[in-house]
Amino acid sequence: MAPKPRKAAGNAPRSPGNPKPAVPPEIDPNSSFTPESFERELKALAAKAKKETWSRFAAEQASVYLRAIALLTLVAIYCKVSQLSLSPVYGSIPSSRWHSKLLMAAIFTGWSSNLFIGRSLSFKPALLLPIIAIYVPAVQFFLFKISGPMTAYWGPLVTEALTLFPLVTLSVACVATYLDGADFSSLPAWAADAAPGLGSYAYYKAAESLFGKLIDGHIGMSFFNTRLGMQIALAASYTLFAPSKLLLFTVPALLHTALLNTHVPTPMALASLNTTLADAGWMILDRQESRTGYISVIESVADGFRVMRCDHSLLGGEWVKFLGKGRFEGNQVAEPIYGVFAMLEAVRLVEVPQPIPDNTAKALVIGLGIGTTPAALVAHGIDTTVVEIDPVVHQFASRYFQLPKNHTAVIEDAVAYTARLAAEGQQRFDYIIHDVFTGGAEPIPLFTLEFLQSLDALLQPGGVVAINYAGDFALPPPKIVVQTIKKVFPSCRTFREHPRVEEDVDKAGQDFINMVVFCTKLDHRELSFREPTARDLLNSPSREAFLLPKYEVLDTDFIAGEEDGVLRRNDTQKLVKWHETSALGHWTVMRTVLPSVVWEAW
Boundary of a domain, candidates 236, 265, 294: 265
- What CATH number is associated with residue 381? 3.40.50.150
**444 and 572 assigned to the same domain:** yes
Residue 304 forms part of a structural domain: no
Question: H-helix or E-strand containing 435?
Answer: strand 429-435
pTM greater than 0.95 (yes/no)? no
At residue 24, the pLDDT reads 55
Residue 8 forms part of a structural domain: no
At residue 429, the pLDDT reads 98
Which residue type sits at 557?
D
Confidence label for 4 from pLDDT (cuts 50, 70 and 90): very low
The total of structural domains in the chain comes to: 2
Greater model confidence, 133 or 21: 133
Closest by Cα among 262, 256, 303, 312 to 95: 312
Question: 465 pairs with which residues across the strands?
Answer: 432, 519
At residue 207, the pLDDT reads 97
User: In sequence order, which residues have a C-beta less than 8 Å from that of residue 526 and are 6 or more positions away?
Assistant: 491
Question: pLDDT tens across 207-232, in order?
Answer: 999 999 999 999 999 999 999 999 99
Distance CA 63, CA 53 (A): 15
At residue 13, the pLDDT reads 46
Distance CA 469, CA 484 (A): 13
Residue 428 forms part of a structural domain: yes
Dihedral of the CA atoms 371, 373, 375, 376 (nearest 10)? 160
Question: H-helix or E-strand containing 290?
Answer: strand 282-290
**469 and 566 assigned to the same domain:** yes
Whether residue 507 contacts residue 501, with contact meaning beta carbons closer than 8 Å, is answered with no
Boundary of a domain, candidates 265, 283, 306: 265
Question: pLDDT tens across 541-574, in order?
Answer: 999 999 999 999 988 888 765 566 889 998 888 8
Question: pLDDT tens across 15-69, in order?
Answer: 444 555 555 555 455 555 677 777 777 677 666 666 667 788 888 899 999 999 9
Closest by Cα among 109, 233, 105 to 174: 109
Angle between helices 477-488 and 449-458 (to 10 degrees): 40
Boundary of a domain, candidates 240, 265, 290: 265
Distance CA 242, CA 563 (A): 54
Confidence label for 280 from pLDDT (cuts 50, 70 and 90): very high
Residue 305 forms part of a structural domain: no
What's phi and psi for 513, nearest 5 deg? Answer: -155, 160
pLDDT at 393 exceeding the cut of 90? yes
Residue 70 forms part of a structural domain: yes
Average pLDDT over residues 443-457: 95
Average pLDDT over residues 303-309: 96
Residue 237 forms part of a structural domain: yes
At residue 5, the pLDDT reads 46
**253 and 124 assigned to the same domain:** yes
Whether residue 338 contacts residue 316, with contact meaning beta carbons closer than 8 Å, is answered with yes
Average pLDDT over residues 401-413: 96
Question: pLDDT tens across 492-545, in order?
Answer: 999 999 898 888 888 888 888 889 999 999 887 789 999 999 999 999 999 999
Which residue segment(s) compose the domain that 591 sits in?
A: 339-528+540-596
DSSP string for 357-395: PGGG-EEEEE--TTSHHHHHHHHTT-EEEEEES-HHHHH
Distance CA 389, CA 513 (A): 24
What's phi and psi for 448, nearest 5 deg? Answer: -75, 160
Tell me which DSSP letter residue 448 carries.
Answer: S
What's phi and psi for 528, nearest 5 deg? Answer: -140, 165
Residue 283 forms part of a structural domain: no
What is the side-by-side strand order in the sheet with 512-520?
Answer: 408-411, 383-388, 362-366, 429-435, 459-472, 512-520, 491-496, 551-553
Closest by Cα among 363, 362, 418 to 389: 418
At residue 23, the pLDDT reads 52
DSSP string for 472-494: ETTSSHHHHHHHHHHHH-SEEEE
**67 and 197 assigned to the same domain:** yes
Which residue type sits at 64?
V
**255 and 390 assigned to the same domain:** no
Which residue type sits at 168?
V
**252 and 136 assigned to the same domain:** yes
Query: If DSSP states are collapsed to H, E and C, what string results for 249-260?
Result: HHHHHHHHHHHC
Q: How far is CA 175 from CA 185, 556, 560, in A?
A: 19, 58, 53
Residue 21 forms part of a structural domain: no
